[in-house]
Amino acid sequence: MVALPETQVSTSSTTGRPVTTDRPAGTRPESATRNTTTGDKYATRTGMADSAPTDILEMRGITKTFPGVKALQDVNLTVRRGEIHAICGENGAGKSTLMKVLSGVYPHGTYDGDIVLDGETAKFGTINDSEARGVVIIHQELALVPYLSIAENIFLGNERRRAGGGIDWNKTNAEAAALLEQVGLDETPTTLVSALGVGKQQLIEIAKAISKDVSLLILDEPTAALNDNDSEHLLNLLRQFQAQGITSIMISHKLAEIAEIADRTTIIRDGQSIETFDMSDAGGSSEAIQDRIIRGMVGRDLDNRYPGRESHPGAEVLRIEDWTVHHPTQPGRVVVEKANLNVRAGEVVGIAGLMGAGRTELAMSVFGRSYGRDISGQVYLDGEKVTVGTVPDAIKAGIAYVSEDRKQYGLNLIEDIKRNISAAGLRKLSKNGFVNEHEELKVAGEYRESMNIRTPNVLVEVGKLSGGNQQKVVLSKWLYTAPEVLILDEPTRGIDVGAKYEIYTIINELVAAGKAVLVISSELPELLGICDRIYTLAFGRITGEVDVTSATQEGLMALMTQETTQETKA
Amino acid sequence: MTGIANIKELFTRNLRTSGIYIAFVLIIVLFSALTDGLLLSSRNMTSLVLQFSYILILAIGMVIIIIGGHIDLSVGSVVALTGAVAAVVVIRGGLPWWAGVLAALGTGLLVGAWQGFWVAYVGIPAFIVTLAGMLLFRGLTLEVLNNVSLSPFPSEYTSIASGFLNGLLGGYGYDTFTLVIFAIGVLGFAYNAWRNRRARIAYKQTVEAPVLFVLKLVVVAAVVMWFAYNLATYRGLPAVLIILAVLVMVYTLVTKHSVFGRHVYAIGGNLAAAQLSGVRVKRVNFWMFVNMGFLAAIAGIVYSARSSAAQPAAGNMFELDAIAACFIGGAAVTGGIGTVMGAMVGGLIMAVMSNGMSLMGIDQSTQQIVKGVVLLLAVAFDVWNKKRAAAAR
Query: In the prediction, which pLDDT does B8 show?
Result: 57
Q: What is the mean pLDDT of residues A81-109?
A: 86
Cβ contact, residue pair B269, A67, below 8 Å:
no
Q: Which of A415, A424, A441 sits opposite B278 (nearest CB)?
A: A424
- How far apart CA A144 and CA A150 sit, in angstroms, is 9
Q: What confidence tens digit (pLDDT) does each residue in A348-358 have?
A: 999 998 767 88
- A72: closest CA among A291, A274, A236, A314? A274
Question: Cα–Cα distances in Å, from A4 out to A9, A26, A70?
Answer: 10, 19, 35
Q: What confidence tens digit (pLDDT) does each residue in A402-445 have?
A: 998 888 899 998 899 999 999 999 989 998 999 988 889 889 99
- Beta-carbon neighbour count of residue B252 at 10 Å? 16
Cβ contact, residue pair B280, A477, below 8 Å:
no
Residue A91 has pLDDT above 80, yes or no: no
B202 has a chain A CB within 8 A of its CB: no
- Strand ranges of the sheet holding A399-402, from the earlier edge strand across to the other edge: A399-402, A485-489, A516-521, A347-353, A533-538, A541-547
Give the model's confidence band at A570: pLDDT under 50 very low, under 70 low, under 90 confident, else very high.
very low
- How far apart CA A132 and CA A128 sit, in angstroms, is 6
Which of A70, A415, A464 would best serve as a mutation to test chain B binding (most B beta carbons within 10 A)?
A415
Residues in chain A closer than 8 A to B391 (CB atoms): 66
What 3-state class would DSSP assign to B152? coil
Query: In the prediction, which pLDDT does A569 show?
Result: 40
Task: Please name the helix (run of DSSP H) or strand (run of DSSP E) that holds residue A401, with its range, or none.
Answer: strand A399-402
Per-residue pLDDT of chain B (393 residues; tens, 9 = 90+): 444 455 555 555 555 556 777 888 888 899 999 988 888 888 888 888 888 999 999 999 999 999 999 999 999 999 999 999 999 999 999 999 999 999 999 999 999 999 999 999 999 999 999 999 999 999 999 999 999 999 899 988 998 888 887 766 666 667 888 888 889 989 998 998 888 888 777 766 667 778 888 888 898 899 888 888 888 888 888 888 889 999 999 999 999 999 999 999 999 999 999 999 999 999 999 999 999 999 999 999 999 999 999 999 999 989 999 999 999 988 988 899 999 999 999 999 999 999 999 999 999 899 989 889 988 888 887 777 767 665 544
Tell me what the pLDDT averaged over chain A comes to: 83
CA distance A98 to chain B (A): 14
Query: In the prediction, which pLDDT does A303 show?
Result: 57
Cβ contact, residue pair A430, B199, below 8 Å:
no
Q: What is the mean pLDDT of residues A386-399?
A: 91
- Beta-carbon neighbour count of residue B95 at 10 Å? 15
Q: pTM to 2 decimals? A: 0.76
Of A528 and A227, which is predicted with more confidence? Answer: A528
B55 has a chain A CB within 8 A of its CB: no
- How far apart CA A329 and CA A68 sit, in angstroms, is 49
- How far apart CA A262 and CA A87 sit, in angstroms, is 9
Q: What confidence tens digit (pLDDT) does each residue in A26-52 have?
A: 343 443 333 444 334 333 333 344 456
Cβ contact, residue pair A395, B336, below 8 Å:
no
Q: What confidence tens digit (pLDDT) does each residue in A286-321 have?
A: 888 888 887 787 765 555 678 888 888 889 999 999
Which of B195, B250, B259, B277 would best serve as a mutation to test chain A binding (most A beta carbons within 10 A)?
B277
B122 has a chain A CB within 8 A of its CB: no
Find out whether A547 and A563 touch, Cβ atoms under 8 Å: no
Dihedrals phi, psi of A70, to nearest 5 degrees: -100, 100
B278 has a chain A CB within 8 A of its CB: yes
Cβ contact, residue pair A409, B278, below 8 Å:
no
Residue A7 has pLDDT above 50, yes or no: no
Query: In the prediction, which pLDDT does A36 show?
Result: 40
Residues in chain A closer than 8 A to B273 (CB atoms): 408-412, 423
B265 has a chain A CB within 8 A of its CB: yes
B17 has a chain A CB within 8 A of its CB: no
Amino acid at B161: A
Query: In the prediction, which pLDDT does A40 show?
Result: 40
Which of A370, A401, A426, A477 would best serve as a mutation to test chain B binding (most B beta carbons within 10 A)?
A426
Strands (E), A97-190: 112-117, 120-121, 135-138
Residue A234 has pLDDT above 50, yes or no: yes
B336 has a chain A CB within 8 A of its CB: yes
With a pLDDT cut of 70, the percent of chain A lying above it is: 87
Residue A100 has pLDDT above 60, yes or no: yes
Q: What is the DSSP letter of B13?
A: T
- ipTM for the complex? 0.82
Cβ contact, residue pair A414, B204, below 8 Å:
no
Residue A382 has pLDDT above 70, yes or no: yes
Q: Which of B203, B279, B336 sits opposite A414 (nearest CB)?
A: B336
- How far apart CA A439 and CA B203 sit, in angstroms, is 12
Cβ contact, residue pair B259, A395, below 8 Å:
no
Residues in chain A closer than 8 A to B280 (CB atoms): 390, 392
What is the pairing mode between strands A112-117 and A55-66? antiparallel
What 3-state class would DSSP assign to A505? helix
Query: In the prediction, which pLDDT does A564 show?
Result: 53
CA-based nearest residue in chain B for residue A407? B273
B270 has a chain A CB within 8 A of its CB: yes
Q: Within its chain, how far is the Cα of B153 from the centroid?
A: 25
Residues in chain A closer than 8 A to B336 (CB atoms): 412, 414-415
Cβ contact, residue pair A370, B253, below 8 Å:
no
Query: In the prediction, which pLDDT does B126 show?
Result: 96
Query: In the prediction, which pLDDT does B9 show?
Result: 54
B179 has a chain A CB within 8 A of its CB: no
Cβ contact, residue pair B276, A412, below 8 Å:
no
* Residues whose CB is less than 8 angstroms from the CB of residue B320 and which lie 6 or more positions away in sequence, other chains included: B76
Query: In the prediction, which pLDDT does B308 show?
Result: 92
Dihedrals phi, psi of A533, to nearest 5 degrees: -135, 155
Cβ contact, residue pair A411, B273, below 8 Å:
yes
Query: In the prediction, which pLDDT does A288 show?
Result: 84
CA-based nearest residue in chain A for residue B393? A66
Residue A13 has pLDDT above 80, yes or no: no
Query: In the prediction, which pLDDT does B26 show?
Result: 87
Q: What is the DSSP letter of A152?
A: H
Residue A14 has pLDDT above 60, yes or no: no
- How far apart CA A190 and CA A187 sit, in angstroms, is 8
Q: Of A3-7, A138-142, B108-112, which gets the smallest average pLDDT?
A: A3-7
Of A515 and A40, which is predicted with more confidence? Answer: A515
Residues in chain B closer than 8 A to A445 (CB atoms): 203
Cβ contacts from A onto B, under 8 A: 84
Residue A23 has pLDDT above 50, yes or no: no
